[in-house]
Structure 1
Amino acid sequence: NSKIVSDLAQHLVTTYYRVAYNINYKNPLLGQIRSMYQQTFSFTKVSIQPFIKFTNHEISDDEVSLITTYFSGALYNVDLLNRNQHTPSVMVVCSSGIGTSRLLLSNLSSHFPSVNFIGPFSTFQYENSDLSDVKLVISSVNVPAKNADIPVLVVPVIPTPDDWQTIADSLERNKIIGSSKSTITIDSLMDIIASYARIEDPNGLQQALSEYINQTNFQKATPLTPSTELKARNNQFVSDHHDWLSAIHTSLSPLIKKDIITQQYEDTIINLTEAHGPYMAIGNGVMLAHAKPNEGVNGLGVNFTLFKHPFNLAESGKLINLVIGLAPIDQHSHFEFLETLLKFIQNKDWINQLKVISSEEEFLQLLMDSKLA
């Protein structure tokens, strides 16, 4: 955008003279900018390398933080100009724009068709977006709230039934949807049934009704279906103990050896986990290890590694025993595979089968029976 370039050029002129004449600038908001604009700050630091080379002077983080605010402000103004509609929205944020974030967006739209979900946005886009028409932010990673009136709800990319309840509660609390709580109570159902039939086991019936209503409201039953053309290759069963770093290395090694990904991709996954926490843990002891296509992907691929002894992901308390290494080449090629995978991960019987596997042969057989490999 020519306006962004023009505005930044004006600001960089003053930066140049401060740097050239050794005028020290101290930004009292340095810590706050680093926290609120983590990715923008990092991108700015990389982007000004030609400017540093031109001035032949190192530039302090105080100066970088000032340039960050200029850059962010310019992006914000462009975003504001490009927004024509001001429909109350729910912004969906993910660390990357690959299929996992689109899967979350698709599932949200499916569960709450009346809600205007927008995105998915990367954390960088979120940091520099106008939120004037946003009432709630739903994110798969921890991001700071930009506005005290706009709450941020952090959920896994594959929400559990409890997560769906939390999302529904948040949408209701922020007056985005009406109340989803049924006016039908278990007690009223019990009274009606008792009027027409003798109840032999009232406690059992009460529990069964409760489970049925909860399942109807929050778990749309989806039959398991065959996978797509994308199949998992180079799958492994690991019987020895690992910490989380060595577990990720072990899981991704086959993809590196096949030149499907580079070492950069593994490093990026580790760095993202350290920076944003265990958001790649998608529930039921499963980790979807992934990053963006331009961060070291040479070809589309996926593999499964089952650990007999679960490991603690980034010391978060989340125990992982299945790592799915995903190498995406775009936002679409693996999307159908992820939809199929989701059905297995949410299926308790399939997860229970994983937990009792004791050999690589058993593991590979389960994947083939599931048409995942």
Structure 2
Amino acid sequence: MFDQRAFRLFEQIIRYEKMTSGALVRKMGLSERQFQYDFEKMNQALRHVGKSEIGMRNQCFIIDPGLKTAYLEGSELFIRQEELFLGEQDRVYLLYLYTFMRQEEISNFHYQRVLHVSRNTALSDVKKVRGFCAEADVRLVYSRLSGYHLVGAERDKRVLAGRCVNALLVLPLGEVALKFVLESWGLRAWLDETERILLDWQKVNRVELVQDRQREWLYLVAFLRCRGKHAGLVFSDVERELIGQQSVYRLTESLVVQLFGTRDVMERFYVTVQVIGAQRTAEVGEHVVLLDLADRIIAAFEKLTLLTLDNKRELRRSLYDHLVPAYFRIVFSLPLIAPMTEQIKTAHPELFAFVRQALSPLAKLTGKTVSAAEIGYFTIHFGGYFERKHEARRDFEALLVCPNGISTSLMMKSQLRQLFPELRFVMADGANIPESGYDMIFSTVYVPTRKPVYLVQPLLTSLEKNYLIQAVAADFPTIDHRHISVDALLEIIERHAVIEDEQKLYDAIFNKIYGKVSIERGYAPMLSELLTKDMIQFTDEELDWKEAIRLAATPLVTANRVKTDYVDAMIETVEEMGTYIHIGKGIAIPHARPEKGVNQIGMSFLRTRTPVHLVDASGPAIDIFICLAAVDNEAHLKALSQLTKFLTNDVALEKLKQAETVDEITNLLTEGEEQE
């Protein structure tokens, strides 16, 4: 019997067939005992459905090519309903959807039958479903006349149904489970018909949806069609006006007729919102307010991170494409499940925090909190623009296939460029892959082709990067000589030493070997490591603002962290842009672009006991200058984040301004870091 863990192991082995079992154990965070248990359970499940087992020799997996091809091409022959094992939370989602689309009165026996569980387990699950429903003012009630049924506003019921669909689709067996719900009512064929209607409508009207959102919507619409209820769906006058102004609204009447056999205007409003929330691109002239919002978010991000982003016009356009569906998802409470959110927060905590702050105009415009999932997608969107420029020859061409939207495409492209500066990357549509003109494909989805295909995640861990480097090096030995296996090195170390933190050691080895081309998880210094004693100064002199910046930057020049040209550039930037370096409370952070003369990341601190007016006598009075020298777009963010937290703490800031010695300053900074 397949459970989520055994099926996830199966998926990972198929996806990373060249990865050793030891590396896969590290990647999945399993113990050796857990791996052996799941491996046997996986093969047992494969035997039950008449499939070839996966073998293993010398830590290498042996996979029947037919098994791999059948799975990647979408074969549904792997699991029978009675072979599916579901966890507690999975059963909650399935019971809700089963009840949501009920075709007859439901009793506890129905729940037992569809879940293959005991009476007591089914009753326990009903209690959990009731708790889930309460989150959206929906109730699961039972009566002898009507059986189990849902009570509440129609839109709230649909929001919960969307959450169930989205939550299940990110699980290894989620899609299989959703199909089983449809099959349990004898309505599995409706899914195929719904998919045909949606794809035909998109093709005729040239509407392109993000693949993940399209898949979520497909299942939700299939459940809605099977349910067949439209009464009680209500939108306010303000909402109707907003939706009716959208160009997509003109196209959705025919879709509603095909899907539901009705011209119900409320259903049309609902479908329009769903389409916009899943769109890949948006028309520029249609949402002037959101285009202006994109500008404000970019400006806020630059101010918070002290960065000047390149290709701002391109960033503005792509951010707008992302903002439009995000705005409608937030306003109309469309659920968004982003399985990468925690990984993004772990890999880029400072960037995530700055993006959260930069999105405050979006929260203000919608009047709602921007969820962590939405922030995560905006984070990888900005992260996708953090690229290093490479001068290496690019003799090979690689296609990038990522149907899940511009944000994930940008992040994937950025990481791959850093890993493989020798390659020229070209974005490609997964539905129209050319037969020639390229050497390899990097894709988030299976692509049938004779060329080498490397399946990748949008956000790569160091272990996945190492695997990818080894895989590409095996197929293209002339690309790069840096194909040292971190796994092989780790196995040698394990034989001769006790490893306390294997993941940290793995990351450290990887960054040491591939650090020049991989900065995603590279080392970022803390504030106290940059503002050391030799970087801190006090002065009693009366200075003008240019003299203050030059004096503040002196330790950086002396330590050869910056050239004198960089100091000139900081002053020129203030002359061009005004007092933008003033962040409030008498604090200024002079900085310029890295290419203006930064040799090494650094910060320096100057306290002027006589306040200095920026630009002219009417400018803000500054008594703390903190010069920043950043080498790239991300290495300084940790220190900057710590500095921001410190300076927004009024008590800590007052102590900083009252400090009389260098030791007092360094002690305050260290104390602030220890309290995080």
TM exceeds 0.5? no
TM band (smaller chain): 0.3 to 0.5
- Which structure has the greater CA radius of gyration? 2
Instruction: Using structure 1 for the length normalisation, give the TM-score.
Output: 0.44
TM-score for the superposition, normalised by structure 2: 0.26
